[in-house]
Amino acid sequence: MLLRYVLAMALGVLQAPPRDSLLAQGIRLAPMEPAAALVRFEGMLARDSTDVVANWRAAIALNDIAQPLVAKGNRPRRDSLLARGEDDARRAVRLAPHDARALFSLGLVLGNTALTRSIKPKIRMAVEIRDLAVRALAADSTHDGAQHLLGRWNYEVMKLSGFERFVAKRLLGAGVFREASWAEARTHLERAVALDPARIYHRLDLARVCLERGDTAAAGVELRRIAELTNRFAADTTYRREAAELLRKLDQSRR
């Protein structure tokens, strides 16, 4: 709370600037400047740690700041940011257990945290991620992020090795992994694209699923469409580069 107090001082929160002003600033900055947005959301939390919106928005901002820190030397900072994001997201879920946005924020943070974990904690997180995605969609089936989260969950489970599946099902009791399928992965990612057709990340993961299933025509459509879209989020430059590389390999394979 000391850090939030300092942030609050820097923003003049103790002089009572309007909460809605900080929120509006944070929302405006979040897509392309998550670090600047986080300052606003942290300022809101310094005033009221039970602010549900500030908690889940802070969690997503922390996730977005951590996401590009993939180099090995950045691992401690990445882990620290994601741990803070998990704390904020879990607080949001405790305060609003049926809020799709809060549930999604926790699933998002756990999904990125799981990427660098060993098999057992990764599988435990995967079970929780699915539960969060299902609950989020039960609360709001039009939440494109939750649709993507569940689609990506199916994709990641289907890509597990036979040994990893054995550990998941037999040793850790993750019977829910039997629910995963390529069809479900594609269905939920197609739904995410339909809900937000201009979101590069939705189309990129849909293309990945199509490639895994050998549907190169559909994958090519999604990858070429990405080239026509404008960047809306800080990570879109990376996603665009990944899409271009996939398209290059796809075109080469057809020669």
In order of their start, the domains of the chain are: 1-116 (1.25.40.10), 126-194 (no CATH), 197-255 (no CATH)
- What burial letters (b/e) apply to 213-222, b meaning 16+ CB within 10 Å? eeebebbbeb
Supply the pLDDT for residue 16: 56
Supply the pLDDT for residue 160: 84
Residue with token string 């904690």: 121
For residues 24 and 13, the answer to whether their CB atoms sit within 8 Å is no
CA distances from 188 to 142, 172, 200 (A): 11, 26, 15
Closest of 197, 60, 191 to residue 137, by C-alpha: 191
Supply the pLDDT for residue 8: 56
For residues 61 and 28, the answer to whether their CB atoms sit within 8 Å is no
Q: Which ranges of 30-171 does DSSP label H, i.e. alpha helix?
A: 34-47, 52-66, 75-95, 100-114, 119-139, 144-158, 162-166
| DSSP letter (8 states) at residue 172 | S
Supply the pLDDT for residue 7: 59
Residue with token string 């992994």: 177
Q: What is the distance between the alpha carbons of residues 49 and 253, in angstroms, rounded to a whole number?
A: 53
Supply the pLDDT for residue 13: 46
Residue 51 backbone phi and psi in degrees, to 5: -70, 105
Q: Residue 24: CB partners within 8 Å, gap ≥ 6?
A: none
Neighbours of 93 (CB within 10 A): 23
| DSSP letter (8 states) at residue 99 | -
- Express each pLDDT in 183-231 by its tens digit: 999 999 999 999 999 999 999 999 999 999 999 999 999 999 999 999 9
Q: What is the distance between the alpha carbons of residues 242 and 238, in angstroms, rounded to a whole number?
A: 6
Which residues in the chain land under pLDDT 50?
2, 5, 13
